[in-house]
Amino acid sequence: RAEVIINGSSSPLVLERSSESIKHQDGPTPTQWRHNQTLALKIRKHILKFLDAEKDISVLKGTLKPGDIIHYVFDRDSTMNVSQNLYALLPRTSPLKGKHFRTCAIVGNSGILLNSGCGEEIDAHSFVIRCNLAPVQEYSRDVGTKMDLVTMNPSVIQRAFEDLVNDTWREKLLQRLHSLNGSILWIPAFMAKGGKERVEWVNELILKNHINVRTAYPSLRLLHAVRGYWLTNKVYIKRPTTGLLMYTLATRFCNRIYLYGFWPFPRDQDQNPVKYHYYDTLKYGYMSQTSPHTMPLEFKALKALHQQGALKLTVGACD
């Protein structure tokens, strides 16, 4: 039984309250979801004790200079030098400085989105966060097209763009980057040494091709801080996924948070098969065998927060 303890002490809120279905969009008796503003504000306050999304969303120009040495967060013995290109792309001020949005959508990449018809609903939110350069055009009916912040783990360059082995893949990545069209591109560049070249390739493409994005590179402390917050609340994650990181950051600047595409299970609630990603053929085995993530555990925590009205999780079709 997991608990979320707000303000560290007196008011433990039981996370796992019942096995109540979160099937609120369809089905015979949909659960009535109501936003719990008091709880959302408490969570924001509590998370602020661990991290400040405004600051931790990106390292700023003023704090680094070219040539500085950085130890990777997960590979402490390996280092990187801050390149001229990376330095050029560091923001001067936080891309979230003073930002407040009425509603935010965080779009995970689960195949549960296919045939959801959620595109229009997602696009109606004030701020839309997407993960790992996921394609949208071909899936717009189900996932929408609006994007204000897009994440990019360096491994995506290998997984989705064949490590840019030839011009075709390079062109494909260029097009995807162009399609970001002014949004924030969030690249965890300091996490693992494996991403070194990939981050540099992307930085170079952005600069050479004058791509219209606002780059952001999360702080060195962000991951541990996010993990710390969830561990304190008895959610024993190993390494937070991109989706959970985004939710944790979003609590700072979004009044209401709506999650779509979060479903780390191979079957839906009616036992129909669900693709791991809505857009590729990656398998669930990838997640359980090689990934340090604990997605089902995260999902359980998010579901409990949904049941308490702190966020809204959509795992069915939209109206």
Indicate which residues carry an active-site annotation: 293
Is there binding between residue 22 and ligand CDP (CB under 6 A)? no
The residue (of 109 and 219) whose beta carbon lies closer to ligand CDP is: 109
Residues 144-203 that bind ligand CDP (CB under 6 A): 153
Q: Does 279 bind ligand CDP (CB under 6 A)?
A: no
Cβ–Cβ under 8 Å, residues 104 and 257: yes
Q: How is residue 88 written in tokens?
A: 């050029």
Give the tokens for residue 15.
Answer: 């996370």
Would you call 166 exposed, middle or buried from its count of C-beta atoms within 10 A (0-12, 13-18, 19+)?
exposed
Q: Strand, helix or coil at 130?
A: strand
- Closest approach of Cβ 201 to ligand CDP, in Å? 18
Kindly report the number of other CB atoms within 10 A of residue 66's CB atom.
12
Q: In angstroms, rounded to a whole number, what is the distance separating the alpha carbons of residues 46 and 39?
A: 10
Question: Rounded to whole angstroms, how far apart are CA atoms 238 and 227?
Answer: 8
Q: Which is nearer to ligand CDP, 277 or 306 (CB)?
A: 277
Nearer to ligand CDP, 82 or 262 (CB): 262
Considering the rule CB under 6 A, would residue 243 count as an interface residue with ligand CDP? yes
Of 230, 258, 276, 279, the one binding ligand CDP (CB under 6 A) is 276
Nearest distance from residue 290's CB to ligand CDP, in Å? 11
- Pattern 282-301, ligand CDP, x by CB under 6 A: -----------x-x------
- Supply angle C-alpha 104, 145, 173, rounded to 5: 115
Cα–Cα distance list, 223 to 115, 192, 253, 279, 304 (Å): 33, 12, 18, 27, 22
As measured in angstroms, the least distance from the Cβ of 38 to ligand CDP is 26
Site residue total, ligand CDP (CB under 6 A): 18
Separation between Cα atoms, residue 177 and residue 202, nearest integer Å = 9
Q: Does 251 bind ligand CDP (CB under 6 A)?
A: no
Q: Using the rule CB under 6 A, which residue among 258, 260, 262, 279 binds ligand CDP? A: 262
110 near ligand CDP, rule: CB under 6 A: yes
The Cα–Cα gap between 276 and 30 comes to 25
The least distance separating ligand CDP from the CB of residue 186, rounded to whole angstroms, comes to: 11
| Residues making contact with ligand CDP (CB under 6 A) | 108-110, 131-132, 153, 241-244, 261-264, 276-277, 293, 295
